[in-house]
Chain A
């Protein structure tokens, strides 16, 4: 243990703890713009400087481990002056467009400038005019607002292993940009949006489509329907000051109805449908076509994009089941439209997603128009929804509870845990076990695949056979899992896993790139806990036992994997190699 003094307060921390983290333990906040709790320090911003033992040299608190005997001063006149000058320098290289910025009110730089009471511009402003990158329909990069903290690059390279973003040039011309100075769309970007979730300013934001949705809602010709993703219910409250993990499902139903949506569906329902299809796929492969194992989940669009670009040798292993967002879309524009006698051409399907890649998924492949129309018209992130709610004048937190629309609204506990890493696996295993054995699993809560460990492994017994499971989240963790499978293949051994779940974002969708700002592991845990609580609160905890799902198959789809289900609910993948492996 390290014992030291911070602002004369004794602290005791484990070895290797940075001064920045140690200071938090004694309620001392050292300002920083570049250090993020998810990431290693880049030491870029220069704001976290502190002094040791009154020495003349200032050290960076973010990357200097506390040592026994240190006497750290975090705030004295000199330090604060230097910090202020540095902050003024950063502001002098930043457009002052706060009022019209996507991060207005939620920007770390703006907050610091306010905290430091910087009211006069003493250093002449210099901002190079660079056009934004709007090449993808998910993410917008405004290079002028970038403060070069390096968070996005670290997330993109180290956490996600995508390597779309990098620093180019040097000195005052240093730019964060897609590597090789191409557009984001041409880059290896998988649109996961983790860069936007970690950006301290408005340099990387989701493509805002609230205006489109407002337009549709106000257009009497349109019939607007909406779906909310599993994780959104436990995160949207954060935008209104509630603690992470607060379940606001029923308030969301009411709110969306008040916004003007004609029908409110729940993506949890289509998650149940996805599980019915995917579990059927698994049972079919596990019992009949062992060669097509492991089965790999495909409901994360960033992951499918990443696979098509980098791991296309696994195309045959991918579940062909569409993601819940797309299933909901196609079912609304076919089954629901038929039932209510609505022209699907008039119907506008809006999805509320934790994710920027979901915007990309809308046009990912031809199958995303299986209804004959775009199955989903607009995908909004949680952040955009929060913005719309605030614009609408709805007192969100005090709304009465509401209900989702019937036939595409009821959900099981298995559907709701889709939003957490390991959730899809857990849900699928519950149903697959039942399909294969006709019985329920004894313990339906698969603790082995829960939690924030990068790669989780587990197994279940299925009629005397062991089913080996692996769950990876954060794309950098995928490589190791797939490499084990490849190795076994090369050696002609049996596959080490039968079923693999991958979610691109750390923590799964609850840590998605479109979620409210400020994500870190503590928040991820709380958000996950909210979903698992929702699961426990459900009367039905198996996707295939969701009565509305049963009705859907009986009335409309027929059998899983076949006929109409196959036509509407499944997709294909194409290799889009970016690099030679």
Chain B
């Protein structure tokens, strides 16, 4: 590939690709772990055996972790469908049924969230699902009734009724989605079956009282290309994702200060967790007198249960690289480092490839796109220390020193890597940047809340039905995320709390689930936004155990440099351990609080300052549970550990009464 010019780039953007048939297999780490590579091989073999020519591509992940391996298929004359939990039989079905005879496969279709309210064209397939509780599921009943009704109307051959795996609707009774129009009805009762067939399938009319009008709760800005393009192919990014158009616009039309101004309008704040305004960070870095400035992409994602950055790096590395280049242009940096944890080999490989491809295309090096802008990007691997996500420790690690934080000031934006002014931005922050420059800061600022603009990606895990990556506008409530997007709590249990912000965050109890998510509100609740890990816990989970789990993580990951964190964390863990074994002393809680305070106030870096948060917030909302452990003694502790491991044991709802 010879170096690209502005005009060639523009031609890429202008060219509208023809709608072709394709099968996309989502090959990110999660998918591969679930067997996506085997599925890909199977699909290729089966396709060849069937004598088909449909191309099979590997793409990144759209984020449906609950459904890995995920395969998306577009076949002319067929609705565009995503299959989840694809195994060998489903793969066979995809080739032999879906691609060959136009029939969808039961129990594996994930309905599109892009629901529409217009019925055009004949209905070819109907997805059905009982979105209520798992017990007494009526999906098959609905499928049977609809099919019978269709047969009665002589449509049994023309319309296929398919049991869906997921409709994106939860707790809304029986639901159907008419394909290809993606018109969705919910709370369908037995009498409605005939209406749906009569009015919608035959008559082509909408049924207003059943129609789901809610738009998709998610807004995909960061994840815009994830699962849509081949992350290993720059051509895909250029042709299908408006790749490097933002960079071209910046180089051609904007002065560095204009870029900063655009970011200021967008209101984008650091997505690593602290929420420092991105434009300000760039401006400060740009203002430092220096012969060289450096931009670092912090990909040292380490919170337990968080995988946003990994997924973005694996699914859309070029966007992050483009964002980094725009950042570099804005602050006059000529070198960039991707600091990625070594436990993310796939992300590392894909970023490495992206850098090589960009270099080959003349997008890295000197005279980029014929301008005077020069930039080089490199990868540095993190060696497994959580604390290296902290800016000064990260810099120490790149420089080859022991990864411990150093006192600030000087801040990295003044004196950073190799003593040069350095801006360190999170993966998600940088992935936002090209979209902001393409669509304008004002467009971005329309999403979210006054103080927290834009969207945020969360990795929702724990006791939810559909663990997945979600990207929602700031201000979306936790309840919407847990119940509206992720399907609620596993086994339809009572939710107890949601943990956000990983080991630096805290738990938010059920009563606060309606709080809109933003940097400020979460902090008021004693947690933090953090990088975006979100863990749901149900009534059987012991909050003391939760606090212990997160604290143990921080104790393991403390660099050991400063006394409050090094010793404080360990001593707290000893106390928590005692309490959780029912051997706590009455004054343990006071001691815990005192150590927490010392750690918060006297630790050097963010890790130590925030490490007590899980303990403090569980103490804040669930103190009675701690007291129950202390008062109930070992017998109570044994009971709690039984109820946590065996889902059939009676949940302990009111620990205080249980103790008294």
Q: Which residues of A contact B (CB under 8 A)?
A: 33, 41-47, 49, 58, 60, 62-65, 78, 81-83, 85-86, 89-90, 92-93, 122-124, 126, 147-148, 150, 166-167, 169-174
Contacts and interface: CB of A to CB of B under 8 A. Distances in A.
Contacts of B603: 46
A86 B387 CA distance: 21
Given A171-B556, A174-B566, A43 B407 contact: yes
Instruction: Kindly state the interface size class of chain B when it binds its partner.
Output: 20 to 34
Given A43-B406, A65-B409, A126-B574, A92 B558 contact: no
B32 interface: no
B388 to A, nearest CB: 11
A150 B561 contact: yes
Contacts of B568: 86, 89
Interface in B439-496: none
A171 B559 contact: yes
Interface in B547-593: 555-564, 566-571, 574, 591
A148 B557 CA distance: 17
B183 interface: no
A47 B602 CA distance: 7
B563 A147 contact: yes
B554 to A, nearest CB: 9
A502 B88 CA distance: 76
Given A43-B407, A86-B598, A167-B402, A123 B562 contact: no
B564 A148 contact: no
Nearest to A89: B567
A60 B604 contact: yes
Contact of A46 (B387, B556, B558, B604): B604
A148 B597 contact: no
Nearest to A125: B571
A170 B560 contact: yes
B595 interface: yes
A167 B560 contact: yes
12 contacts: A44-B561, A45-B562, A46-B562, A46-B603, A64-B407, A82-B602, A83-B602, A126-B570, A147-B563, A171-B555, A171-B556, A171-B569
A92 B571 contact: yes
B597 A123 contact: no
Contacts of B406: 43
Nearest to B594: A85
A172 B555 contact: yes
A44 B563 contact: yes
Interface in B599-632: 601-604
B169 to A, nearest CB: 44
Interface of B: 385, 387, 402, 404, 406-407, 409, 555-564, 566-571, 574, 591, 594-595, 597-598, 601-604
A172 B570 contact: yes
Contacts of B409: 64-65
Nearest to A45: B563
Contact of B601 (A45, A58, A89, A147): A58
A86 B555 contact: no
Contacts of B561: 42-44, 148, 150, 167, 174
Given A44-B561, A45-B562, A64-B409, A82 B597 contact: yes
B566 A171 contact: yes
Contacts of A93: 563, 566-567, 570
Nearest to A83: B602
A46 B564 contact: yes
Given A46-B602, A46-B603, A126-B570, A169 B560 contact: yes
Contact of B557 (A41, A82, A171): A171
Contacts of A169: 560
**A126, A170, A174: most-surrounded residue (chain B CB, <10 A):** A170
Nearest to A82: B601
Most buried by A among B407, B591, B597: B407
Nearest to B608: A46
Nearest to B558: A171
A15 to B, nearest CB: 13
Contacts of A47: 602
A46 B558 CA distance: 15
Contact of A173 (B387, B560, B601): B560
A568 to B, nearest CB: 48
Contact of A49 (B567, B571, B594, B601): B601
A123 B602 contact: no
B407 to A, nearest CB: 4
Nearest to B602: A46
A167 B402 CA distance: 8
Given A93-B567, A170-B385, 16 more contacts: A43-B406, A46-B564, A46-B598, A58-B601, A64-B407, A64-B409, A78-B601, A85-B597, A89-B567, A89-B595, A89-B598, A126-B571, A147-B563, A167-B404, A171-B557, A172-B558
B465 to A, nearest CB: 36
Contacts of A63: 407
Contacts of B555: 171-172
A86 B560 contact: no
A174 B559 contact: yes
Given A46-B602, A170-B558, A171-B557, A86 B564 contact: yes
Contacts of B557: 170-171
A63 B558 CA distance: 21
Nearest to A67: B409
Nearest to A150: B561
B595 A123 contact: yes
Contacts of A64: 407, 409
A89 B407 contact: no
B571 A148 contact: no
A64 B597 CA distance: 21
- Pick from B556, B571, B597 the residue with the most CB of A within 10 Å: B571
Contacts of A85: 594-595, 597-598, 602
A19 to B, nearest CB: 12
B614 to A, nearest CB: 17
Nearest to A49: B602
Contacts of B563: 33, 44-46, 86, 89-90, 93, 147-148
Residue from the set B556, B566, B594 with the largest chain A CB neighbour count within 10 Å: B566
A48 to B, nearest CB: 9
Contacts of A43: 406-407, 561-562, 604
Contacts of A41: 407
A242 to B, nearest CB: 34
B595 A44 contact: no
Nearest to B605: A43
Contacts of B562: 43-46
A86 B603 CA distance: 9
A287 B288 CA distance: 55
A171 B402 CA distance: 13
Nearest to B590: A122
B574 A174 contact: no
B560 A172 contact: yes
Contact of B567 (A62, A83, A92): A92
In the A-B complex, list the 4 residue pairs whose CB atoms are closest, starting with the nearest: A174-B560, A63-B407, A85-B598, A46-B602
Given A41-B407, A43-B604, A89 B564 contact: yes
Contacts of B402: 166-167
Contacts of A124: 571, 574
Contacts of B556: 171
A30 B423 CA distance: 33
A93 B570 CA distance: 10
Contacts of B601: 49, 58, 78, 82
Contacts of A171: 555-560, 566, 569-570
B567 A172 contact: yes
Contacts of A60: 407, 604
A551 B598 CA distance: 68
A74 to B, nearest CB: 14
A124 B569 CA distance: 13
A222 B159 CA distance: 113
A63 B387 CA distance: 20
Contacts of B567: 89-90, 92-93, 172
